[in-house]
Structure 1
Amino acid sequence: MTNDRTNVDTMVIGAGLGGSCQSHTDGGHRTGTGNGDARRIAELEREVQELRRANEILKVYFAKELDLELESNQSALAVEKPGEPALAEMSPAAPPAPARTIRWTAAQPSTIPDPPRPMAEFRALGPIEAVVDGQLLDLGAPKQRALLALLVSKVGQPVAVDVIVEELWTGNPPPSAITSLQAYVANLRRVLEPNRAPRTPATVLRTYGRGYLLDNHVVEVDVHRFSERASAGWEALDRGKPQQALHELEAGLTLWRGQAYAEVADTTYVRPEVARLEELRLSVIEGRCAALLAVGAHEMAVAELEAFTQAHPLREYGCELLSLALYRAGRQADALAVLRTNQRRLAEELGIDPRPALQHLENEILNHAPALDWRPRPGGGA
């Protein structure tokens, strides 16, 4: 029994040391061999070491690529241990190097590029004008100018040749109308795109089917800017910011130089758009006067509104604003006279009564209602 225990202990110790052990017997029979087990354990230990080294090499690789600090144990990889295979002879079990290099760059601040400048700017709130590269263009003969005004009124939409001919020659086109129209288009293209190469498609004034259009992606029109200013002004007034409203509405009104689309304002095709813009302009004037009252500029509002109501006596909102401005300026009798004159005119000319807001205002003026008095808004009303 002692001999058997000694033999077993010797085999285990030998296997643990990785050395070779001779065959042992128990009662004259072979009990096993230690050489195979020892070799297997040694191979496993070697594979573990190789995997560890491969892991450390990959850590160094990625640390260099990512510009990170290397860990302190990298120095151990500088000298290859004796008896260990070189990196090129590593076991296939080692993980392969990544196929793609990972590179990190510092985050760049996000910037929104400025919108591209329009190739041409058109002014249609008055006689038609065109600006390219900051220069006011010579648009040529009256019919050529009328053609451009017609196209600007429908910017972004094609206008058929038949419609253009009908409008430019008021229903009596000469036999040469189409030839003349083509010449007008060629002249306008030349001035609107002076740097366009010969025989290249036009960008601003394009042919579209059997018609022409101004591309709204590359042009700017003052009509659109006016509408944007008007919307911004009314929105500011609704939010209780009369100073901002005053700025927006005045900026919109300064764009006007006369009747919209003056060259073609009387044509059947453009007349509805002219009427729409005129109504919008009058509403913006009233909105500006309401903003003047909101900031306490009563006398200035009176001067503006007296001229306005004389030109447009049936606009009830204008009369309401004028009456309130007169009351706040200390002219109660004049304020009542405005309301009663308006009431009489509506009855005589239209057979209707004033809207309830005017009747309510008259009662408040008679009763000196405190709600009519002006009070500065906190923060200046901006």
Structure 2
Amino acid sequence: MIRLTLAILALLVSALPADAQFNLNKLKKAADTALDVAETVDDFTFSEAEEVELGLAISNRIRARYGVAQDPEVTRYMSLVGATVAQKSGRPSIPWQWIILDSDVVNAFAAPGGYIHVTRGALAVIGSEAELAGVLAHEAAHVTRKHTLKALQKSTGMELAQNQASFTMGSALFEAVADQAAKAVLAGFGQAEELEADKVGVEIAARVGYRAAGLTNFLGTLNTISPGAASSSALFRSHPETDERVKKLDKTIKKNHLDDGVWLAERYASSMTYDAAQASTGGPSVAGGRGVAGSTDSEATSEEEAAEDEKGDQGKFSLAKLADPFAMGSEEESAEVTGAGAGRAVGEEAGEEEGGVKNTEIVEIRLTPGELAAFQKEGGLN
């Protein structure tokens, strides 16, 4: 679209009289330059290997903040649900990782390459396997639709295109991109990305055989654990309001006849060991972590501090502009709401205030095809 607009502008300028052409010569040069920039940005793409490497680097930063629950049994269960969802995600072959963050906050994050993070707090308040599948499918949709990668290309495509040869794992460029991308993932996706992930997520969950309304049920649960959160202007900012999201999801479910499917609440309850009481109380999480539930007024202070930090980085690599790649942060947007996948968390941040050392190692789970097939058959899944 940009290239077409610039090309039309160039043609119009060339058709003008000589004196007008002279007066608009600078405009034409600017149009030509902008066209070159657009072509350069379009030329940059992430390979799948680069996507996975970047996703791991982002996951490293997320895990460093929250820690990882070293719980092989629950991680295996979540991985079985996740692997089931991934099979119908459109990208089943990427190395999906399903990670439980060691935190009581209600939160979930998706990093490129298939790194999906869900907190203990979120698992504690989820009420059925269908709800878990809805949350995981929502997060998986952020990966399959490459929301983070598209934001990177939009925000820093010029720098990345000009320095693509230097974009190797461990390089200064790679680490700068990973730092800023992790901040963006923790801050949350924009309204368009959230709505797309909602729609794609319920469709994926339904294709697997889960009740598509699992995600809408989870969104309703957020209001239960944080009364008034869905209508508070300070919570879930920069995203569509919960009521709007639920209405759109209900419309999608009805339009596409996604009313069937299983809940599997009993299997979920028998597989979970986390206490919802801790997740349902307490204050906001650490600054900058807008996960499943939203943010609070205290975030204003943290944002002022972040702005001061950014001023100090202005002379450095220009990826600092990636801090808001999803065009968030206006006063108008601050009244909007988010649910699964992008909003400040509800609950207490485990270990952050205590200053304890966190275990950040991923709990490696290896699922056999037979194990996955048996799990799906037992649950009546596709």
Normalised-by-shorter TM-score class: under 0.3
Which structure has more relative contact order (CA 8 Å, sep 6+)? It is: 2
Q: Which protein is bigger by CA-based radius of gyration?
A: 1
